[in-house]
Amino acid sequence: MEKQGSNYMRELIRQLVRNLGLLEKESTSCGDVSISQCHAIVEVGRAGEISLNKLAEVLTLDKSTMSRTINNLVENNMVMREVHPDDRRYVAISLTDEGRKLFDDIEGSMQKYYSTVFNYISENKREQVLDSLQLLLEAINKNK
């Protein structure tokens, strides 16, 4: 395949997404939770506390899907869901101690993996890779 143009970019992104998806499936860092629940735990852990609506927005899921995901995590004692006392429409999500432990495990595992990948990139190309990823993300976000 010719190494230029949108078709080549599409192929590289397809391979990247597939390889990262395989990493998530093979990774034991998520424990017994699904990949979508794993993503939710990471976002809640990074935020400390986040509303259900904001979490759905960050993960680009509809509110009903996000609500089901959170319900499962509440049942598994990974997150707490609390309704704001002054505004019953605001539902705050935070991690339980068990959820915090899983979050720390996930973050540690991913940090180790991506640190290794980053170190495989020659030092003089690292900034270029990061800049290119940022440009790609910005272009994708403009096309939403």
Q: Which domains does the chain have, with CATH numbers?
A: 32-142 (1.10.10.10)
- Predicted pLDDT of residue 22: 61
pLDDT value at 11 more than 70:
yes
Would you give the DSSP letter of residue 1? -
- Predicted pLDDT of residue 86: 82
pLDDT tens-place string over residues 21-66: 766 655 556 778 888 899 999 999 999 999 999 999 999 899 999 9
Residues 40 and 73: their CA atoms lie apart, in Å, by 9
- Predicted pLDDT of residue 56: 94
Q: How far is CA 133 from CA 7, 10, 94, 116, in A?
A: 17, 14, 30, 17
Residues 66 and 144: their CA atoms lie apart, in Å, by 20
- Check residues 14 and 48 and name the one with the higher pLDDT: 48
Q: How far is CA 87 from CA 56, 63, 67, 90, 112, in A?
A: 19, 18, 18, 6, 41
- Predicted pLDDT of residue 65: 93
Neighbours of 23 (CB within 10 A): 15
Q: pLDDT tier at 19 (50, 70, 90 boundaries)? A: confident
Q: In what order do the strands lie in the sheet with 91-95?
A: 49-51, 91-95, 79-83
pLDDT tens-place string over residues 70-104: 999 999 999 999 887 888 778 899 999 999 999 99
Residues 28 and 102: their CA atoms lie apart, in Å, by 11
Length reported for the chain: 144
Per the structure block, which two tokens stand in for 3?
């190494």
